[in-house]
Amino acid sequence: MSDTTTSAGAPGWTAAVLASTGVCGVAGTLAGIAWGGVGGRLAMRLLFVTSDDRVRGRITDSGFEIGAISPGTMFLLVFSAVAGGLLGLVAGPLRMITAGPAWLVAVGAGVAGGAFFGALLVAPDGVDFNVLEPLWLAVALFVLLPGGWAATVVLLADRLARSGALFTTLPARIDERRFGLVGWGVLAALTVVGVAGLLDDVRSLTA
């Protein structure tokens, strides 16, 4: 990851955080389309194929007909782009306070994002995870999608920041030793909360 420390004449923390937020917002939008929009539709299509015929024509928790490619797909793409962009804005400051090379931060973000958002997506009281089969595949896919989004945001943001395509005068990242582990603490907390939530969801679905 490109690390830039503050020095005389160099932009400070405020400028760097704004730069990272903007870059991650763009990366989050693109990753949202890829993972949430395209990936989400492919995941539902795969689960339609692996489930029995009783799922045909059922309406998912998101309001889509299982197994059908409908105009609602465009709504899903737009929603995923907007949601991904907004979450990317949140990831921007977090990226600034997470020490380590881009690939390592991407792994940490992927694990935390998959666990935390996966727990939110797996709904024991909804339709999707009570009719789609096999359950392990449904859960795995909806952990993979947000995890892939989070990892992609980190890697793509790092690439955009290095290229200077969006901000040519602002630092890609400021590496402050006293803040470098804060991000890892946040990622660890999200992972623990997410894993606990996923375990509760699976227990409820298999009870």
DSSP conformation class of 65 = B
Across the range 155-176, mean pLDDT stands at 68
Across the range 16-24, mean pLDDT stands at 85
Angstrom CA distances, 141 to 40, 167, 194, 195, stand at 9, 35, 15, 15
Distance, CA of 175 to CA of 90 (rounded, Å): 18
Distance, CA of 141 to CA of 47 (rounded, Å): 9
Across the range 141-150, mean pLDDT stands at 96
| Residue 204 predicted with pLDDT over 80 | yes
For residue 128, name the pLDDT band (cuts at 50, 70, 90): confident
Tell me the per-residue pLDDT of 45-99, one tens digit each, with 9 for 90 and over.
888 888 877 666 666 666 666 656 666 678 889 999 999 999 999 998 898 888 8
User: Residue holding tokens 């789609």?
Assistant: 132
Range from 165-174, 177-186, 191-200 that averages highest in pLDDT: 191-200
Pairwise pLDDT comparison (180 vs 100), residue with the higher score:
100
The pair of three-digit structure tokens given for residue 159, joined into one six-digit string: 């690439």
Angstrom CA distances, 43 to 36, 40, 137, 149, stand at 10, 5, 9, 14
| Residue 27 predicted with pLDDT over 80 | yes
- Cα torsion 115, 143, 37, 68 to 10°: value is -140
Rg (CA), the chain: 19
CB contact at 8 A, 114 and 144 = yes
Pairwise pLDDT comparison (174 vs 133), residue with the higher score:
133
Range from 23-32, 92-101, 157-166 that averages highest in pLDDT: 23-32
pLDDT given for residue 74 in this prediction: 84
DSSP conformation class of 178 = T
pLDDT given for residue 142 in this prediction: 94
Distance, CA of 200 to CA of 99 (rounded, Å): 31
Of 142-151, 164-173, 177-186, give the lowest mean pLDDT range.
Answer: 164-173
What type of residue sits at position 137? L
